Structure 1
Amino acid sequence: MSGSKLLEAVKEDREKGLIPFWVCTTLGTTGCCSFDDLQGIANVCQQEQLWCHVDAAYAGCSFICPEFRKWLKGVDKIDSIAFNPSKWLMVHFDCTAMWVRNSSALHCAFNVNPLYLTHEFSGLAIDYMHWQIPLSKRFRSLKLWFVMRNYGVKGLQEHIRKGVMLAEKFETLVKSDPRFEVPARRHLGLVVFCLKGNIKTTEALLKRINSRGKIHCVPANLKGKYVIRFCIASPRTTVQDIESDWKEIVDVTNDLLSGNCSARAPEGNNDSFGSSLLLSNTPLSPTIVNGSFAALHQEGKVLDEFSKIISIPRDNFAMRKRVRGILMSGKKFSLDSRLDLFQALYTDKKLRTVKDIKESRKQCDPESLQFSEESTPVTSPKGSPLKKNTCEKCGHSTYGYKIKNSKNK
């Protein structure tokens, strides 16, 4: 967005009898990390008396480095800005930092003063319940404080610069392969790329990459062009990781273009690209992606094993029917929901459930518990270490301490 285009839109709205009052400019878009003309937009907002808010969710973290503040020209004229330290400053999700020029505007909109919310210090300190719709919020600032204290300004700057350097490395690798193109200029740690030619080929590539479970990428739509986003934000990412990720992409591309890969794009037009995140190779109905399943079980090999075991005599009809249903649904189920299948198909010994353990403990005779010298650092109320107790009948162990009647407490 540019200042001139914004001014045209404002005039057009006012001619229609509308009242423009708020403008959101983006520094670092989600799709390809592009930047609006902040200076031009801020000037128009001042001229037309509009609230100018800056959404710098991802790129805002990079402004800790002086060399990336070129996109902040005009920031002195804005009314508010927000960014997410959880995206690139090593802070656990969720964490958003916001600055507002005129906090009284928020107070006027959200301030409530029922009797049960008043106290003797009301008005003497900042009360953030008057800055937002909810009355309370979590203590998110502590984790950000810990990161800042642990790394310092220099440490955080090094982290950002390392991510940018690794993104430059990945961009160089992509451009070295004539089958790929980078349709948007790389900014910061985000690279977007695609295969030249039909967009469905790129969509099939992404689906195949995610189905293998070694790396995970998400798509974006840049003016009708389907692209794959490759973003670097982890402090543990190394040059070797970038090279191995690129090798994985190249290997999948070779299989796809040579016809050795069964992954294919859905039939018909798919403007939303929603099926790209399916882990199933055959496009069925949209399903919820289980990222844990993809990371732990590459290419759905566990379900393949289930299909091979269906013919084993020890499987009853109900079990075979359930496994077949899982295979045909195209959905990925959590390990918890498939635990009974694992128990029936992979083990000869019945796995003990929590209920089984509780029932076995009821049968234990306290007199049969044998105390060993093994102990834990935890102490009893009397100060002596807890001792390991093993039941001679069932063999299960607990920790406790002796009392006068020699029974386990």
Structure 2
Amino acid sequence: MAMGTPPLVDVLSPLDPEEFAVESRAAVDFIAGYYRDIEKYPVRSEAEPGSLRRLLSDEPPENGEPIDGILADVQQYIVPGLTHFQSPNFFAYYPFNASTAGFVGEILCAGLNVAPFTWVASPLATELEGVMMDWIGKLMGLPDCFLFSGGGGGVLHGSTCEAVICTLVAARDRALNRLTHEGILKMVVYASDQSHSTFQKGAKLVGIPPSNFRVIQTSAAFSYGLTVDSVRNAVEADIARGLVPLYLCATVGTTGVGAVDPVGELGELAQHYGMWLHVDAAYAGSALICPEFQDCIQGVGLADSVSMNPHKWFLTNMDCCCLWVTSPAVLTSALSITPEYLNDISHGSAAKTGMIDYKDWQIALTRRFRAIKLWVVLRRYGAVGLRANIRRHVEMAKWFELALKADDRFEVIVPRRFSLVCFRFRPRYEGDHTVDALNRKLLNVVNASGKAFMIHTIVDNKFVIRLAIGATMTEMRHIRDTFELVQEKATEIGQDRD
């Protein structure tokens, strides 16, 4: 052996079918055991900063190890320190759904491991995505203008942030066609004080000056939704200053309180001023498959784009975000760049053949085969099963809201929206200046118990506790137990003050 030549080792077979079956089965059994035992763990992680680094070696492994040993270490080192998003007692943020069908779809996505960035790269994966976008759009009650069958179209992203950035880029470039090169410094983006922060981040990333982002105040009088008058006043003030209204966000189910903006009225306003209207239905969009909720997007045909996240409340494992647009050409012209190696010499360009190249609908080039997850979920549960899942969570939220109202120590801050309940602990003898402190303490002791996990929001300068129901394994008994936990901890806090 020549000096300096490394010793020969056995050739790896990382995709040996027999080994693949054995090790994958071990992983599936591990996850099944995790779900079986998930209620044994505190819902919110109790890990201290740096705790894992102290347990693991500073050096990467030189030699491979059996999968059983790796899974044993996952159980010992990783699982106990997780915040368990799939716990039936997880009520924080908004739900991050999982299901058996979603997991199977994820296995197929990862196992097939294709990259449908152009039609020719993965023809049927590309076409399945188009079909899925039309299927879900129809279930949600979106008008034909958002469907491929009606001249629009849709794409699967990983997150709302990606979808928002793409629509902001499209809106920006559409506006620049009629403005000077300095026009971007005059463009203004509008959202409410309840809109997700991703819109501010997206505007910043596409070059909109932070000073040109308008946060429009909402109020209890309009259930914390935007009003046409408030938006019009902000737009008129900007026009008077020589600025250009570019983009307006309307939300169906805001993160803080689940507010619903008047989509149709805002659509008329946006068209009048030449703004792009995006409808963010990341959470509540899943509920639109139930006919009783579809009035929330009345007039959505006046919008330019709509997004929703199946990984929130549609029994689809992370990550998966649907984005629909009424004018695919506007989106793709802003995002399309085609190097020579991606030119399809066998079929001609996508534009000429009507084929879809999804690389032109997103930021990145490569992409996952997310459509197969949606296909498996929709095939496995059907619209009937998906609606039943939404409705049972809504019924649980209704029960929790009524239980709070029956205890005069609590107040429901805004009427329940979908499966979100926002409330405060407010003993009658407490002054306003101490109520926030009491609620902070209540939230902390509930979460510290390990029996439930919720977060807070600020509404009209009030500290408010949010209970967002949507975990796949949550049953009515978990809701009752959580309410009793809240009552118990509230009683303890009250006694401490006596």
Q: Is the 8 A contact 2:245 2:274 kept in 1?
A: no
Match of 2:478 in 1: 241
Q: Partner amino acid for 1:248?
A: L
Aligned to 1:230: 467
Deviation per CA, 1:254-277: give whole Å up to 9, x if none. 11111199xxxxxxxxxxxxxxxx
CA contact (8 A) 2:247 2:277 kept: yes
Aligned 8 A contact 2:306 2:323 in 1? yes
| Mapped contact 1:80–1:101 kept (Cα < 8 A) | yes
- Give identity over the alignment, percent: 36
Give the equivalent residue in structure 1 for 2:422: 192
| Aligned with 1:217 (options 450, 454, 470) | 454
Give the SS at the match of 1:21: strand
Deviation of residue 119 (structure 1)?
2.0
Alpha-carbon distance between aligned partners in 1 of 2:437 and 2:264, rounded to the nearest angstrom: 38
Q: Distance in 2 between matches of 1:87 and 1:101?
A: 24
| Counterpart check, 1:69 vs 2:310 | no
Determine which structure has the larger helix proportion and give its number: 2
What corresponds to 1:12 in structure 2? 237
CA distance in 1, matches of 2:462, 2:294: 29
> Is residue 2:483 matched to residue 1:253?
no
Q: In structure 2, what is the Cα distance between the partners aligned to 1:4 and 1:248?
A: 43
Rounded Cα–Cα distance in structure 2 between residues aligned with 1:245 and 1:176: 15
Alignment of 1:26 onto 2:26: no
Secondary structure, in 3 states, of the residue corresponding to 1:186?
Answer: strand
What residue is the counterpart of 1:101 in the other structure? Answer: 326
TM-score, normalisation: structure 2: 0.51
Determine if contact 1:28/1:34 at 8 Å carries over to the other structure: yes
Pick aligned residue for 1:149 from 367, 379, 391 = 379
* Aligned partner (choices 322, 338, 346) of residue 113 of structure 1: 338
**Aligned pairs (5 A) from 1:315-330:** none
Cα shift at 1:37? 1.3
Residue 221 of structure 1 aligns to a residue whose secondary structure is: strand
Letter in 2 for 1:28: G
What does residue 440 of structure 2 align with?
203
Equivalent positions of 1:351-390 (< 5 A) are none
Note if contact 2:264-2:299 (Cα within 8 Å) is conserved in structure 1.
yes
Amino acid across the alignment from 1:186: R
Mapped to 2, the partners of 1:191 and 1:167 lie a distance apart of: 7
- Work out the CA distance in 1 between the residues paired with 2:367 and 2:461: 40
Which amino acid in 1 is paired with 2:493? L
Counterpart of 2:310?
85
Shift of 1:184: 0.6
User: What secondary structure sits across from 2:413 in the alignment?
Assistant: coil
2: CA distance, partners of 1:14 / 1:136: 40
What is the deviation of 1:214?
0.6
Alpha-carbon distance between aligned partners in 1 of 2:371 and 2:255, rounded to the nearest angstrom? 24
Match of 2:388 among 130, 155, 158: 158
Amino acid at match of 1:135: L
CA distance in 1, matches of 2:267, 2:466: 30
Task: Give 1:17's aligned amino acid.
Answer: G
Code of the residue aligned with 2:369 in structure 1: it is F
Where 2:457 maps in the other structure, the secondary structure is strand
Equivalent residues of 1:4, 1:40 under 8 A apart: no
**CA distance in 1 between partners of 2:283 and 2:238 (Å):** 30
SS at match of 1:193: strand
> Which structure 2 residues correspond to residues 294-313 of structure 1 after superposition, within 5 A?
none
Amino acid at match of 2:231: L
C-alpha displacement at 1:157, in angstroms?
0.8
Give per-residue Cα distances to partners, 1:341-367, cap 9 Å, x unaligned: xxxxxxxxxxxxxxxxxxxxxxxxxxx
| In 1, Cα distance between equivalents of 2:497 and 2:482 | 20
TM-score calculated relative to the size of structure 1: 0.62
* Pairwise CA distance, 1:86: 1.0
Query: What is the 5 A alignment of 1:268-279?
Result: none
Where does residue 51 of structure 1 map in the other structure? 276
- In 1, Cα distance between the equivalents of 2:332 and 2:413? 44
Residue 404 (structure 2) aligns with: 174
Task: State the structure with bigger RCO (CA 8 A, min sep 6), 1 or 2.
Answer: 2
Query: How big is each residue's C-alpha offset from its partner over 1:74-126, in whole Å with a ceiling of 9 and x where there is no partner?
Result: 11111100011111111112211111000111111111121122222331310
Task: Give the distance between the partners of 1:21 and 1:41, measured in 2 at CA.
Answer: 14
Runs of 4+ in 1 over 4 A off after TM superposition: none
State the alpha-carbon separation in 1 of the partners of residues 241 and 366 from structure 2: 40
Is the Cα contact below 8 Å between 1:53 and 1:81 reproduced in 2? yes
Aligned with 1:119: secondary structure? coil
Opposite residue 104 of structure 1, the aligned amino acid is: A
Tell me how far apart the structure 2 counterparts of residues 101 and 136 of structure 1 sit (CA, whole Å).
24
AA partner of residue 410 (structure 2): F
| Matched length | 261
Amino acid at match of 1:231: A
- Alignment partner, residue 137 of structure 1: 367
- Structure 1, unmatched stretches of 5+, are 262-409
Moved more, 108-117 or 26-35: 108-117
Largest Rg, 1 or 2: 1
Q: CA deviation at 1:16?
A: 1.1
Superposed displacement of residue 57, structure 1: 0.7
Q: Structure 2, unaligned stretches of length 5 or more?
A: 1-225, 427-431
Q: Residues of 2 paired with 1:24 and 1:99: CA distance?
A: 14
